[in-house]
C-alpha cells in the first residue's frame, strides 16, 4: 500500500486542531489497515490567534510555507510515488496548487483530498467579510477545489453554501463525510456525570459572526444564572471541559457554522445545546434543541423576539432534567457528523483501486 501524507492544519492547544495532531494519524492508519501515514508539519506556530479568528494570519503562512518546502524536497529526493495520497486537513491551503504543479510536471500520479472549513464564499467568514468576492480570492478557491480529487465537507449545508458562489462545480469531486472526531466521546467521558449548575456557556470565538453581543444582553435578563463567555476566561482544554460539564446550556446565535463542535461536546457531557434553526444546525439537531432562526438573525431581530427566546432558555434551565432525557437521542442523530469512517473509506478505496490497476 502506498504512503498517505497528512498535510495538517497548525495545532492550537485550545482548538480541535491540537486533538487532530494527536488522534488523526492513528485513526487514519488503523482505518487503512496500518498503512504508512506520515504527517507533513510546518513546525511550531504562535498560539495566539488573530483576534476573533481561528488562526494567526501571519503564522499560518509561515506554517504552510514550511509544509511546501518539505513536500518539494520529497519530490526532489524521489520519495513521492505513484498512488500516494495527500490529505489536507484544511483545504484552504494554496500549497495544493504547487503540489499539483509538481506532480503533473514530474509525471507522478498522486491523489489529493482537502477538508473544507470556510472561505470567502461564506459572507460571515473573515475572508467573506474582509475580502468578499474579489476575483483573486474566488479564483484561488476555485483553483484549489479543482486541484483536489476529493473535496471533503462535514455537512450538506456547507456544500450548498460553497456551490452558491461557484458555477459548474463537479459534483463527483464533492464528498459529505463528517469530520474524524470519533475520539471526542472517549476524551470527554471522564467529565460527564457531574452535578449541573445554573450556568449558560458561550463557547465560540469572540467574533461578529458569533454575535456575542446577543449572549451578553441575554445575561441581563437572567440575574439568577451565570452567563460565561469561555474565550474571555482563557481556559485550558481541561478547564473548559470541566466547565462545559457543569453547565446546563450551550448557547449559539451564530451566523456562521459549517459543523459546530461545541454543541456536540456539550451534548456528550449532558449539556443541552440551544441553537438557531439555520446553518449546519438545521440538518444536525432535532427540534428540541432549536429555536426559530429569526430570533437571532441580527441584533434588531433579537431585540424584537427577546421575550420568546428568554422563555425558551428559562424552560430549558428550569426543566433541565426533562431536556437531558433526550440527550441520547440527540447524540444518536449527531454522532455521524463526528465520525471519520466515510473519509477513511474514500481514501482507502482510492488507494486500493490504484493498487489493483
Residue 198 shares a structural domain with residue 83: no
The answer to whether the predicted template modeling score (pTM) of the entire model surpasses 0.85 is yes
Residue 270 shares a structural domain with residue 142: no
Chain Cα centroid distance, residue 19: 12
| Average pLDDT per block of 10 residues along the chain, 357 residues long | 89 81 94 90 68 64 94 97 96 97 97 97 90 94 98 98 95 97 96 96 94 98 96 92 98 96 97 98 97 98 98 97 96 97 96 78
- C-alpha distances (whole Å) from 162 to each of 54, 118, 153, 159, 258 are 19, 9, 10, 5, 11
Residue 198 shares a structural domain with residue 312: yes
- C-alpha distances (whole Å) from 274 to each of 104, 204, 212, 277, 317 are 48, 13, 15, 10, 11
Report which of 169, 176, 133, 173 is spatially closest to residue 154, judged by C-alpha positions: 176
Residue 154 shares a structural domain with residue 215: no
Q: Which grid cell is 190?
A: 471522564
Residue 146 shares a structural domain with residue 120: yes
Tell me how far apart the alpha carbons of residues 180 and 166 are, in angstroms, rounded to a whole number. Answer: 27
Tell me how far apart the alpha carbons of residues 347 and 31 are, in angstroms, rounded to a whole number. Answer: 10
Give the CATH number of the domain where residue 21 resides.
3.40.50.2000
pLDDT of amino acid 356: 66
Domain limits for position 166? 4-180+339-356
Residue 100 shares a structural domain with residue 139: yes
Please list the helix, strand and coil fractions of the chain in percent, rounded to the nearest 5, in that order: 50, 10, 40
123 within 8 A of 129, measured Cβ to Cβ: yes
> What is the distance between the terminal CA atoms of the chain, rounded to a whole angstrom?
13
pLDDT of amino acid 53: 45
The DSSP 8-state label assigned to residue 287 in this structure reads G
Q: Which grid cell is 206?
A: 469572540
Residue 312 shares a structural domain with residue 205: yes
Residue 351 shares a structural domain with residue 235: no
Residue 196 shares a structural domain with residue 291: yes
Residue 91 shares a structural domain with residue 214: no
| Element containing residue 118 per DSSP (H, E) | none
Residue 352 shares a structural domain with residue 298: no
- For residues 187-205, b (16+ Cβ closer than 10 Å) or e, as one string? bbeebeeeebebbbbbbbb
Residue 79 shares a structural domain with residue 116: yes
| Element containing residue 119 per DSSP (H, E) | none
Instruction: Tell me how many domains the chain contains.
Output: 2
Amino acid at each position: 500500500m502506498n504512503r498517505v501524507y497528512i498535510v495538517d492544519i497548525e495545532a492550537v492547544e485550545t482548538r480541535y486542531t491540537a486533538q487532530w495532531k494527536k488522534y488523526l494519524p492513528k485513526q487514519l492508519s488503523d482505518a487503512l489497515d496500518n498503512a504508512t501515514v506520515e504527517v507533513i508539519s510546518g513546525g511550531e506556530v504562535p498560539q495566539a490567534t488573530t483576534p476573533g479568528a481561528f488562526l494567526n494570519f501571519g503564522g499560518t503562512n509561515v506554517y504552510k510555507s514550511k509544509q511546501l518546502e518539505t513536500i518539494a524536497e520529497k519530490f526532489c529526493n524521489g520519495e513521492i510515488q505513484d498512488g500516494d495520497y495527500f490529505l489536507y486537513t484544511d483545504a484552504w491551503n494554496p500549497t495544493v496548487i504547487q503540489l499539483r504543479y509538481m506532480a503533473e510536471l514530474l509525471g507522478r500520479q498522486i491523489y489529493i483530498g482537502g477538508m473544507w472549513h470556510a472561505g470567502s464564499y461564506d459572507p460571515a467568514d473573515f475572508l467573506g467579510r474582509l475580502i468578499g468576492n474579489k476575483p483573486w480570492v474566488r479564483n484561488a478557491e476555485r483553483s484549489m477545489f479543482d486541484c483536489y480529487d476529493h473535496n471533503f465537507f462535514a455537512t450538506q449545508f456547507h456544500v450548498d453554501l460553497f456551490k452558491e458562489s461557484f458555477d459548474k462545480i463537479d459534483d463527483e469531486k464533492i464528498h459529505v463525510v463528517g469530520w474524524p472526531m470519533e475520539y471526542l466521546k472517549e476524551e470527554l467521558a471522564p467529565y460527564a456525570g457531574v452535578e449541573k449548575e445554573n450556568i449558560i456557556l458561550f463557547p465560540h470565538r469572540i467574533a461578529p459572526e458569533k454575535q456575542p453581543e446577543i449572549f451578553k444582553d441575554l445575561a441581563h435578563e437572567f440575574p439568577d444564572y451565570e452567563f460565561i463567555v469561555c474565550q474571555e476566561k482563557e481556559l485550558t482544554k481541561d478547564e473548559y471541559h470541566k466547565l462545559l460539564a457543569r453547565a446546563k446550556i450551550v448557547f449559539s446565535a451564530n451566523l456562521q457554522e459549517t459543523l459546530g463542535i461545541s454543541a456536540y461536546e456539550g451534548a456528550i457531557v449532558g449539556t443541552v445545546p440551544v441553537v438557531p434553526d439555520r446553518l449546519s444546525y438545521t440538518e444536525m439537531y432535532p427540534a428540541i434543541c432549536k429555536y426559530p432562526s429569526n430570533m437571532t438573525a441580527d441584533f434588531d431581530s433579537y431585540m424584537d423576539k427577546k421575550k420568546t427566546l428568554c422563555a425558551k432558555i428559562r424552560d430549558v434551565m428550569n426543566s433541565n432534567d426533562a431536556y437531558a432525557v433526550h440527550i441520547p437521542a440527540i447524540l444518536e442523530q449527531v454522532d455521524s457528523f463526528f465520525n471519520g469512517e466515510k473519509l477513511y473509506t474514500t481514501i482507502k478505496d482510492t488507494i486500493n483501486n490504484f493498487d489493483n490497476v
